[in-house]
Amino acid sequence: MNTKQIERVFILGMDGAGNFIQHTDTPNIDAFLSKGAVTYMAQAQSPTISAECWGSILHGVVPEKHGLNNEIASTQVYPADSPYPSIFKLVREAQPEAKLAAFSSWSPIVSGIIEEGFDIHKEALPDEELVGAIETYIQNNSDVKLLYMQLDDPDASGHKYGYGPDSPNYLKAITKMDDLFGRVLRAIEQQGLLEDSLVILLTDHGGGGADKHDHGSDHPMDKNVFWGCVGPGVSAGTVLPELFIVDTAAVALQALGLELPANWDGKVPASLFS
């Protein structure tokens, strides 16, 4: 695999969207992912809950190992001596001068899932304000090495209105996220960063399976999620026959040229990089 051209990684996520972007207008995401790899059958971790899933996305291991849940992430700092560090800590240790940034609408991600004390630029704001902050950051830090984003409204709308293709207000929230994703993708492009960046678009879980207004089960509506990426070495139309969201950390780390920890559950799909 040749990923020498990849200079940086962007992980751009929305919460609770499952694979329901297939059922509403997402022109920015659709057009972007047509240039790379995409699946609508990636598998969320179990239980399909935000802290467990984002924890696996960022730490490369299943929830039983990273030990995070919503209460822990909301009230505790992730232990700096954990045997399962986040991708942020691993990149920082390998590249002490690298610019790292994490932007989250759900604040426990930046306060309780990503470690403290490793010089990571962190912001927690509502979705629209968060995207404005990301645009500003990218304009001023075109040499960023790893940037993560989490937008929250699909999940909030799912809890309020119900998840799934028959919930118009939930689908509208996903379409609104597409507008915000489009703004971030344009900010990346305007700085000339698309050609040598790996950009991953994803969600953490779906909803509406066992409970119309909730998630957490192993029902396909909760488990099946979209995941895609575009960047050097990723051919347009790449098929991903099997992918788990825990693989995200492995993809990001390998793209940055770093060795994967032996104790990780995340793997790089064999078909991803040509």
Q: Kindly list the structural domains of the chain, giving each domain's residue range(s) and its CATH number in brackets, ordered by start.
A: 8-255 (3.40.720.10)
Which pLDDT value is given to residue 1?
A: 44
The average pLDDT across 91-120 equals 98
C-alpha span between 188 and 182 (Å, rounded): 10
Task: Report whether pLDDT(104) > 70.
Answer: yes
The average pLDDT across 31-36 equals 97
Contacts (Cβ under 8 Å, ≥6 apart) of 90: 253, 258, 261
Closest listed residue to residue 145, CA positions, set 126, 167, 118:
118
**pLDDT range class, residue 95, cuts 50, 70, 90:** very high
Which pLDDT value is given to residue 274?
A: 75
DSSP letter (8 states) at residue 113: I
Task: Report whether pLDDT(251) > 60.
Answer: yes
Task: Report whether pLDDT(3) > 50.
Answer: no
What distances in angstroms separate CA 1 from CA 5, 104, 240, 254, one per listed residue? Answer: 11, 32, 16, 10
The average pLDDT across 76-80 equals 97
Which pLDDT value is given to residue 47?
A: 98
Place of tokens 């995409």: 38
Task: Report whether pLDDT(231) > 60.
Answer: yes
Contacts (Cβ under 8 Å, ≥6 apart) of 255: 3, 6, 9, 198, 231
C-alpha span between 71 and 155 (Å, rounded): 17
The average pLDDT across 180-204 equals 98
Which pLDDT value is given to residue 2?
A: 46
CA angle 169, 173, 174 (to 5 degrees): 120
Question: For all residues of the chain together, what is the average pLDDT?
Answer: 97
C-alpha span between 244 and 161 (Å, rounded): 27
